[in-house]
Structure 1
Amino acid sequence: MDFSRFNAAEQAQLNRVIEKKQMQDFMRMYSSLVDRCFNSCINDFTSKAIGSKESTCLTNCADKFIKHSERVGTRFAEYNAESHTSQQ
């Protein structure tokens, strides 16, 4: 993003807003990951410990979620690059 038209104080404010938004997005994604994987994988509440099947499920769930998020991010970047190229 080109912030050159803004003065230093405005640029700093914009950066703070962007950083806050990125943190909110990260926390939303993390919360979604925890919620989805917990609900899908944790079934035995008779013990505080996570069983081996649950542990394997959690690992697989988190890996798939992260790979999916990376793929969506890549596709979004490609789409964004294409739309900027076609506008020029």
Structure 2
Amino acid sequence: MDGLTPSEQREFQSVVERRQMREFMTMYSNLVQRCFDDCVTDFTSKTMNNKEEGCISKCVEKWLKGSERMGQRFAEQNAAMMASGGSLGGASK
């Protein structure tokens, strides 16, 4: 970024922000679709019943915890890779 003009830096930042927003919206949409498909089964009422609401809450909570754990593992792997000089050779399982 140091080699870019201020205008180019702003444009680059704008592109990055739009991409991050698009990725977030895709992720959110996928979560909503998955939890809805897994939890909502009764279409005889316009409101969700207690079982469906509980299922959706658990689905979202589980997904958020999984995403948080994945982020932690990614950070741990990244730190280990940096500590070993950036090589991927020692990270096999």
Interval of TM-score (by shorter of Structure 1 and Structure 2):
0.7 to 0.9
Structure 1 runs of 4+ off > 6 angstroms? none
Q: Does 1:70 align with 2:63?
A: no
Q: Within 2, Cα distance between the matches of 1:51 and 1:17?
A: 42
1:38-69 per-residue CA deviation (whole Å, 9 max, x = no partner) reads 00000100000100000000000001111111
Partner of 2:46 in structure 1?
48
Gaps of 5+ in 2: 88-93
Partner of 1:87 in structure 2?
86
Q: TM-score, normalised by structure 1?
A: 0.85
User: How big is the shift at 1:72?
Assistant: 1.7
Q: 2:5 aligns with which of 1, 4, 7?
A: 7
Q: TM-score, normalised by structure 2?
A: 0.81
User: How big is the shift at 1:34?
Assistant: 0.4
Counterpart of 2:86, as a letter, is Q
Gaps of 5+ in 1: none
User: How big is the shift at 1:84?
Assistant: 3.9
Q: 2:34 aligns with which of 36, 49, 55?
A: 36
Counterpart of 1:47, as a letter, is S
Counterpart of 1:10, as a letter, is E
